[in-house]
C-alpha cells in the first residue's frame, strides 16, 4: 500500500543516475509498472496536474546552491537544500536539493524528464539526480 498523503515513487528507491553512469537507471518498464501501481493504489487522477518533486544529491552544498538558479530558470520551484541524516558522525556529508514543478506525466514523459535531469546533474557536476516524488497539487494546503 502506498504511503499517503505523499507517494514516494520507485525512483527514490533506485538511484536515477550517478557520476559513473551516463544512463537512466530507472527503466521505462519500471515507470510503467509504477504508474500502474499508483493508479490501482490511490484515487489520484494522474491525467491531471500533480506536484512532482525532484531531488539531487552532492557532498557540496555550494554545488547544489549553484545549480538552483538554473533549475528555477527552467520553471522549477526551489523547496530546500538540506543535510541528510547520518548513521554515524564519521559519515561524509550528503546534501539534498529538492525542487518541484506542477505538471502532468506519463511513463514516457517522466522517462524523458529523468533523462534530462540526469544530464543536468552531470552537466553541473552534481553527484546524482536521485529521483522524484508526487502528490496532489493541493496536498500542501
In whole angstroms, what is the distance from residue 36 CA to residue 79 CA?
28
Cα 27 → chain centroid: 15
Taking residues 37-42, report their average pLDDT: 86
Whether domain 11-140 has CATH 3.40.50.300: no
pLDDT of residue 140: 60
How far is 117 from 90, CA to CA, in rounded Å?
30
Query: What integer pLDDT is reported at residue 78 of this predicted model?
Result: 98
Residue 22 above 60 pLDDT? no
Lowest mean pLDDT among 10-19, 47-56, 67-76: 10-19
Percent of the chain having pLDDT more than 70? 80
In terms of Cβ atoms closer than 10 Å to its own Cβ (0-12, 13-18, 19+), residue 78 is: middle
Residue 1, pLDDT score = 35
Question: Domain residue spans in the chain?
Answer: 11-140
**What's the confidence (pLDDT) of residue 9?**
46
How far, in whole angstroms, is CA 101 from its chain's centroid? 10
- Please state, in angstroms and as integers, the Cα–Cα distance from residue 42 to each residue in 38, 63, 125, 135, following that order: 6, 37, 37, 11
In the prediction, which pLDDT does 10 show?
A: 41
Segment among 12-16, 52-56, 100-104 with least mean pLDDT? 12-16
Each residue's pLDDT tens digit, 41-50: 888 888 999 9
Report the distance separating Cα 73 and Cα 104, nearest Å. 19
Model pTM score: 0.83
Mean pLDDT of the chain: 84
Quote the CA–CA distance of 111 and 91 in Å, as a whole number. 32
Choose from 2-11, 33-42, 64-73 the range with maximum mean pLDDT.
64-73
Dihedral of the CA atoms 120, 129, 137, 81 (nearest 10)? -100
Amino acid at each position: 500500500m502506498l504511503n499517503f498523503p505523499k507517494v514516494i515513487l520507485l525512483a527514490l528507491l533506485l538511484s536515477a543516475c550517478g557520476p559513473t553512469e551516463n544512463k537512466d537507471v530507472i527503466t521505462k518498464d519500471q515507470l510503467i509498472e509504477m504508474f500502474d501501481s499508483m493508479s490501482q493504489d490511490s484515487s489520484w487522477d494522474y491525467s491531471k496536474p500533480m506536484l512532482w518533486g525532484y531531488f539531487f544529491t552532492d557532498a557540496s552544498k555550494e554545488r547544489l546552491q549553484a545549480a538552483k538558479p538554473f533549475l528555477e530558470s527552467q520553471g522549477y520551484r526551489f523547496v530546500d537544500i538540506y543535510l541528510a541524516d547520518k548513521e554515524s558522525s564519521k559519515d561524509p556529508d550528503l546534501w539534498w536539493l529538492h525542487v518541484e514543478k506542477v505538471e502532468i506525466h506519463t511513463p514516457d514523459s517522466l522517462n524523458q524528464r529523468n533523462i534530462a535531469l540526469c544530464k543536468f546533474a552531470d552537466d553541473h557536476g552534481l553527484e546524482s539526480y536521485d529521483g522524484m516524488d508526487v502528490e496532489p497539487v493541493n496536498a500542501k494546503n
